[in-house]
Amino acid sequence: ESSGKIVDACFKTFGCGSAIASSSVATEWVKGKQMEEVVTIKNTEIAKHLSLPPVKLHCSMLAEDAIKAAVKDYEAKKAKLAQKGEEKAAEA
């Protein structure tokens, strides 16, 4: 947490091979990167890397959305913990 880098990532995907591959690539690409950096990963980059056909582009879109949702969830939880810490400090 002190470095701000993502040390690990995992996924739970149901669907076709393209969806699973997109999720897998996304997890590999976010490891070792800063939060600000991973939200710039675009579905088009994932689709190009996997050579996805046009009919499967929604799979890479889901992977991009999942990255952004995970970062948003992490930041919300971190803010909530900070707020609780401030409240405890104010009570003391």
Enter the pTM of the model.
0.85
Q: What is the mean pLDDT of residues 49-72?
A: 96
The pLDDT confidence band at residue 57, using thresholds 50, 70 and 90, is very high
Given this model, what pLDDT does residue 83 score?
Answer: 85
* 3-state per-residue secondary structure call for 18-71: HHHHHHHHHHHHHCCCEHHHHCCCCHHHHHHHHCCCHHHHHHHHHHHHHHHHHH
The pLDDT confidence band at residue 3, using thresholds 50, 70 and 90, is confident
Given this model, what pLDDT does residue 1 score?
Answer: 62
- 24-49 pLDDT, tens per residue? 999 999 999 999 999 999 999 999 99
Given this model, what pLDDT does residue 87 score?
Answer: 78
Domain boundaries 5-91, corresponding CATH code: 3.90.1010.10
